[in-house]
């Protein structure tokens, strides 16, 4: 695929749009594995949005690979493997008011998810957690979908001060199902504070991206599972 756009959104967070042929995205929450020159392992990046011939990725610079990506110019060709993973299931019976919760760079795949939920006639509520107001991204894009959006920041510079569960409590947010993607502490807090079933996208270090290296294996109530191939999305009741 070819880089159409690669721009900085906030500090260390970039949006890359890729054009060209790609296999169909079958569910929001899937990811791609990108080969980078000089790097042995591909870099897994979640799909934020898509059309028939474009993929939009939002990634954070956390190491040499993503730093290399941030400096790539428009027109650069990339070898992209994917879409990979199972993604989120939006065909949940009787679901009408789902809660969608994201933390930091876990937010991007939830944008595509929210678009699909809105298409199905659901009225999702979005809660996004960041460290500080200067790190907030995709807020306007979520609002443009006509959904309620709540922001939390650890330092209180934007939205509710604290974590995502603080915003849920202070705003009396109710839901009949939930979706989540973010850091492990946020996931654990959400599991404890919700009584409904939900789907959680797990963040693990992925090697091959399709289950061969088993380096991303986690233990679930149903045995050991590979996050890249059996996930990255799992039911709350599985974890």
The model's pLDDT over 126-169, given as tens digits with 9 standing for 90+, comes to 999 999 999 999 999 999 999 999 999 999 999 999 999 999 99
Which pLDDT score is estimated for 72?
A: 98
Model confidence, pTM: 0.95
Domain assignment of residue 71, yes or no: yes
Are residue 138 and residue 182 in the same domain, yes or no?
A: yes
* Distance of alpha carbon 72 from alpha carbon 3, whole angstroms: 8
Are residue 163 and residue 102 in the same domain, yes or no?
A: yes
Are residue 58 and residue 12 in the same domain, yes or no?
A: yes
Which pLDDT score is estimated for 210?
A: 85
Domain assignment of residue 209, yes or no: no
* Distance of alpha carbon 75 from alpha carbon 110, whole angstroms: 27
Q: What percent of the chain has pLDDT over 70?
A: 100
Are residue 74 and residue 25 in the same domain, yes or no?
A: yes
Q: What is the CATH number of the domain that holds 104?
A: 3.40.50.80
Are residue 72 and residue 106 in the same domain, yes or no?
A: no
Domain assignment of residue 232, yes or no: no
pLDDT band at 122 (very low <50, low <70, confident <90, very high): very high
Are residue 33 and residue 111 in the same domain, yes or no?
A: no
Are residue 38 and residue 79 in the same domain, yes or no?
A: yes
Q: Tens digit of pLDDT for each residue in 208-235?
A: 888 888 889 999 999 999 999 999 999 9
Give the structural domain span for 66.
Answer: 2-83
Domain assignment of residue 69, yes or no: yes
Q: Tens digit of pLDDT for each residue in 54-101?
A: 999 999 999 999 999 999 999 999 999 999 999 999 999 989 999 999
Complete DSSP assignment for 145-184: TT-EEEEEETTSSSSEES-HHHHHHHTT---SEEEEES-H
Name the phi and psi angles at 92, rounded to 5.
-100, 120
How high does pLDDT run on average in the chain? 94
Domain count, the chain: 2
Q: What is the CATH number of the domain that holds 78?
A: 2.40.30.10
Helix (H, G, I), strand (E, B) or coil at 209: coil
Are residue 175 and residue 129 in the same domain, yes or no?
A: yes
Which pLDDT score is estimated for 144?
A: 97
Compute CA distances 13 → 10, 43, 60, 89, whole Å: 5, 15, 4, 27
Are residue 59 and residue 105 in the same domain, yes or no?
A: no
């Amino acid at each position: 695929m070819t880089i159409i756009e690669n721009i900085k959104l906030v500090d260390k967070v970039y949006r890359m749009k890729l054009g060209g042929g790609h296999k169909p995205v079958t569910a929001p929450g899937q990811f791609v594995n990108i080969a980078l020159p000089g790097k042995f392992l591909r870099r897994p990046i979640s799909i934020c949005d898509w059309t028939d011939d474009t993929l939009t990725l939002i990634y954070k610079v956390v190491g040499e690979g993503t730093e290399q990506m941030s400096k790539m110019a428009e027109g650069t060709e990339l070898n992209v493997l994917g879409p990979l993973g199972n993604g989120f299931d939006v065909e949940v019976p009787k679901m009408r008011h789902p809660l969608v919760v994201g933390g930091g760079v876990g937010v991007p795949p939830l944008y595509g998810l929210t678009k699909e939920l809105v298409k199905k006639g659901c009225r999702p509520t979005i809660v996004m957690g960041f460290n500080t107001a200067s790190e907030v991204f995709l807020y306007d894009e979520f609002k443009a979908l006509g959904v309620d959006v709540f922001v939390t920041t650890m330092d209180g510079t934007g939205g509710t001060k604290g974590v995502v569960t603080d915003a849920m409590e202070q705003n009396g947010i109710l839901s009949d199902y939930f979706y989540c993607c973010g850091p492990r502490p946020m996931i654990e807090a959400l599991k404890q504070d919700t009584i409904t079933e939900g789907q959680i996208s797990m963040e693990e270090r992925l090697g091959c991206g399709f289950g061969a290296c088993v380096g991303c294996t986690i233990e679930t109530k149903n045995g050991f599972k590979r996050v890249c191939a059996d996930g990255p999305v799992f039911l709350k009741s599985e974890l």
